[in-house]
Amino acid sequence: MSALEIELAEERVLLLPQKALFWPRERMLLIADIHFGKAASFRALGIPVPRGTTTENLASLDALIAAYGVQHIVFLGDFLHAKAAHASSTLRAMLAWRARHLQLRLTLVRGNHDRHAGDPSEQLRIEMVDEPHTIGPFSFCHHPDLPAPGYVLAGHVHPVYRLSSGWESLRLPCFVFGERRAILPSFGAFTGGHVIAPLPGERIFVTAEELIFPIEIR
């Protein structure tokens, strides 16, 4: 897995192919749209989704925490998918995970799904904030186009870039960087994507398995 270093608001940050952003100065990991409990919500509505997506999400976080010495995770909204995400099995897994990372600081910027789902259990010890939540030069948001004092880092869109050549066409989760805001790809193991058309002046970085690379936009 190779990360890509870029400069953002005069800060050095790493774009990770695991669809997250790492801010080394603060040892802070930014995660957008993880949608815990989405599979459980589907099952509650009679749609069979196999078990394992929550565990997969937590394992991915574990790997990143270990690899980068993460001290603080900021979730950019949509931490829980729906009310059914409070299901005991999902919560049990998350509490066990929390117990493995007692020192880790967690912050959740509430997103639209969080508002419907309700705040996560207090036992998870997550600091709850509303957007925009500004630290240093950055304003952490869920919705990308909110007026904010800092450079906005947001989620919500689940951006995917369609890379086509001839008859081949690939949909790849991507980071979108504009002049005033960046949109992160969705992190969740059971979340989809929305194909975006980059605006003039925007930079796109697509993730493809263990690689991340910039896209030339003409």
Partner 1 sequence: MSKAAAAQQVDDWFARRAWKVFPFQRAVWKAAVAGESGLLHATTGSGKTFAVWFAALQRAMRTQKGRRKAGLRVLWITPMRALAADTLRALQESASELVPGWTVDARTGDTSSAARARQARHLPDTLITTPESLTLMLSKADAREQFNMLDMVIIDEWHELMGNKRGVQTQLALARLRQWNPALVVWGLSATLGNLERARHVLLGAEAGGVIVEGAIRKSLLVDTLIPENPSRFPWAGHLGIQMLQPVIEEIEQHATTLVFCNTRSQAELWYQHLLDARPDWAGIIALHHGSLDKEVRDWVELGLKKGQLKAVVCTSSLDLGVDFLPVERVLQIGSAKGIARLLQRAGRSGHAPGRVSRVTLVPTHTLELLEAAGAIQAVKDRDIEARPVAEKPLDVLVQHLVTIALGGGFRSEELLAEVRTAWSYRNLTDEEWQWALDFVARGGQSLTVYPEYRRVLPDEEGVYRVPDAAIGRRHRMGIGTIVSEAMIQVKYMSGGRLGTVEEGFISRLNKGDHFLFGGRILEFVRVHEMTAYVRRATGAKGAVPRWQGGKMPLSSELAHAALEQMRLATEGIYKGPEMRAIRPLLEVQQRWSSLPTPVSTVVESLHSREGHHLFIYPFAGRAVHIGLASLFAYRVGRARPTTFSIAVNDYGFELLAPESVAWPDVFSALEGRDVGLFSTEHLLEDVLASLNATELSQRRFREIARIAGLIFQGYPGQPKSNRQLQASSSLFFEVFRKHDAGNLLLTQAQREVLEQELELNRLRATLTELQSRRVSYHETARATPFGFALMVERFREKLTTEKLSDRVARVLRELEKAAGP
Rule CB under 8 A: which residues touch partner 1?
38-53, 56, 81-82, 84, 87, 89, 162, 166-167, 171, 189-192, 195, 197
Q: How far is the CB of 41 from partner 1 (least distance, A)?
A: 6
Closest to partner 1 by CB, 147 vs 200, is 200
Closest to partner 1 by CB, 103 vs 165, is 165
3-state secondary structure of 115: helix
Closest to partner 1 by CB, 2 vs 89, is 89
- C-alpha pair distances (Å), 139 with each of 24, 122, 188: 17, 24, 22
| Pairing of β 194-195 and β 159-165 | parallel
End-to-end CA distance of the chain: 28
Closest to partner 1 by CB, 144 vs 193, is 193
Measured at the CA of 199, the angle between CA 212 and CA 155, to 5 degrees, comes to 55
3-state secondary structure of 192: coil
The neighbouring-strand residues paired with 183 are: 154, 176
Q: How far is the CB of 39 from partner 1 (least distance, A)?
A: 7
The packing angle between helices 53-68 and 88-100, to 10°, is 10
